[in-house]
Amino acid sequence: MSDTCITSGKTVRDMVRAGWELWHIPVIMNSPLPGRWELRHRSEPIRHVHWDAIISIRKRYLDWFEAETEEIQEGRYTWCYRTPQANLALSGGTAS
């Protein structure tokens, strides 16, 4: 992974709060890890997320992710996690 790989679960949570989407992309080939994680936001460069950050999220921030994000399947094995406000913005709606 690149030097700009995010290793902090708190950073991932804060970026998702700010409107970024957390994506899980499966690895089709044989791999010791079940896929990779990325943060995406509009035309910004994709930010890679290290497995250490995912482990941190599972230990410290899982309750927040379960309560504050929507899990959206974007293919057979690809998942996206984003806040309801981000979903609303994508649909062209407005918050009341």
Q: Report the alpha-carbon distance of residue 18 to residue 80 in Å, rounded.
A: 15
In a domain, 36, yes or no: yes
Is there a domain that residue 44 lies in?
A: yes
The whole-angstrom separation of Cα 45 and Cα 67 is 27
Q: How many domains does the chain have?
A: 1
Angle at the Cα of 51 (from 22 to 27), degrees rounded to 5? 75
pLDDT digits (tens, 9 = 90+) for 36-87: 999 999 999 999 999 999 999 999 999 999 999 999 998 888 899 999 875 5
Q: What is the pLDDT of residues 18-40, one digit of tens each?
A: 999 999 998 876 666 678 999 99
Q: Provide the whole-model pTM.
A: 0.80
Query: How far apart (Å, rounded) are the C-alpha atoms in residues 35 and 87?
Result: 24
Domain limits at 33? Answer: 9-91
pLDDT, position 31: 64
- Is 1 a residue whose pLDDT tops 50? no
Q: Output the pLDDT for position 35.
A: 86
Q: Is residue 3 part of a domain?
A: no
